[in-house]
Amino acid sequence: MSRQKRSGGRGSKDKPPKEPARPVPPPPPERVPIALVIAVVTTAVLEVLDMTIVNVSIPHMLGTFAATPDQITWVLTSYIVAAAVVMPLTGYLSNWLGRRRLLMLAISGFVISSALCGMAWSLETIVIFRLAQGVFGAPLVPLSQAILMDAFPRERHGQALAIFGLGIMVAPVIGPALGGYLTETYSWRMVFYINVPIGIFALLLAIGYLPKRPIKELKTDWIGMGLLVLAVGAIQYVLDQGQTRDWFNSKVIVAGTIIAVFASAAFFLRGWNKPDNIIDLTLLKNRNFVAGTLAITAYGISLFGWMAIMPLFSQRLLGYPPDVAGTLFIPRGIVSAITLAITGSILIKIFDARWLVIGGLVMTALGTLPMAYFSLYVDFWGIATPGMLAGVGTGLFFVPLTAAAFASIDRDKYDEASGIYALMRGIGGSAGIAVVSWLFVRQTQIHFNELTAHITPFNR
């Protein structure tokens, strides 16, 4: 007995006392593949860039195709209308084909149609190829935003949106400069050919790093799709062609407006409580998402309206060649990129998103207001400096607004919500261009009438 006790005692001394179990640390956050980020941002840049890079080349296309100014606008209109029609269908197409397959198809189609645009031999062919370019390019921006937000954890969405914003908010600003340089140095066809190597590069990266998602069995709501295509197409056509056709003095514009109103009303009335509608309209019951979408639409009016009038002012009145006129946008693009990066990585963690949005709007207004007082004596930095102030506003505005809009959206609805968000931003841009074009034509007529009223045989 004593031996057992002694042995037991020795055993207890030999064995170290058990330490309490330590809690298992949480797994480190999964690193987002840099190649995937580069791929999706590059694809978004391609689609947005082609909305503005072609603008500078339009006068050069007139002679190539022996077209009138009214006819050549279809090179722009066909792309914008096609993209607007397909963009809200991104969520449906992603569920039907799978996100990976849709992105591959969209990039491949965009690259091929871009090459065909560069090889176009007549006005009809380039309009058809631009239509195809718009159809394939439409899903690129919504998919890019959805993929980035899916890849980053929710607490890092500000960083993801800053990266995404570098593409979709800076690319339209850089587009005129790049288009002007390529047109002056080489040919207008280069503004399309440049998409080919960039698109192939993005496609190869996406193939290697984009994860697969299961494909859902869907029942297509063909009536809803038809109403949506009709409504969006009519709205975009009216906004794009209204100024050219003298707005409601044109029967075509009146008919397009009627179609847009009735098709939109029918789409919403029919699909509001319909669970299998082509677009999940329950997204519009999310107050943050609706407010953010309306705000980005209004901001698109100011951003694209300014960009529409500045090339005309710098080239026609100041006498800048296209490549120099395009460089006026570069300082704004650089400042926007820097501010987006700072906002997404630092400021959004420190300040309330609402104050950042308000600050962005104030800075945009302060940068835009001096443009109303430009004269023929303004120099390069006189134009670029207000643009840089407005660029700071863009960087402060975009990231917190989009983060707040998507804060309560489920991950499985990112594709659909991004499609609606991108569509409304595009419609806002078209509305801005339409308003500025209308004001430009109207004021030109007013000044012309005032000047000619003083011309008499007795007044030299």
Write the DSSP symbol of residue 456.
B
Cα distance between residue 323 and residue 171, in whole Å: 16
pLDDT at 112: 92
Diameter of the chain by CA atoms? 139
Contact by Cβ (8 Å): 113, 132: yes
Q: Indicate the DSSP class of residue 278.
A: S
CA distances from 415 to 37, 96, 120, 184, 423 (A): 16, 12, 33, 39, 12
Rg (CA), the chain: 27
Q: Tell me, what's the pLDDT at 289?
A: 86
3-state helix, strand, coil in the chain (%, to 5): 80, 0, 20
pLDDT tens, position by position, for the chain (460 residues)?
444 444 444 444 455 555 544 444 444 345 666 777 777 788 777 777 777 677 777 777 777 777 776 667 777 777 877 887 787 778 778 777 777 888 888 888 999 998 998 888 888 888 889 888 888 888 888 888 778 777 777 777 777 777 777 777 667 767 777 777 777 778 888 888 888 888 888 888 777 666 666 666 666 667 777 887 888 778 877 877 777 777 777 888 888 888 888 888 888 887 777 766 767 777 788 888 888 888 888 887 777 777 767 777 887 788 887 667 777 778 887 888 888 888 887 888 888 888 888 988 999 889 888 888 888 888 888 888 888 898 888 888 888 888 888 877 787 777 778 878 887 887 787 777 777 777 877 788 888 888 887 777 777 6
Distance of CA 274 to the CA centre of its chain: 29
Q: Which residue has the tokens 């694209």?
A: 304
Question: Closest Cα partner for 336 from 208, 116, 170?
Answer: 170
Give start and end residues of each alpha helix (H) in 313-352.
322-327, 330-342, 348-350
Token pair for residue 217? 């069995």
In 3-state terms, what secondary structure has residue 380? helix
Q: Do you know the residue count of the chain?
A: 460
Backbone angles phi, psi at 121, to 5 degrees: -115, -5
Q: Which of 70, 451, 446 is nearest to 246 (CA)?
A: 70
Partners of 405 in the β-ladder: none
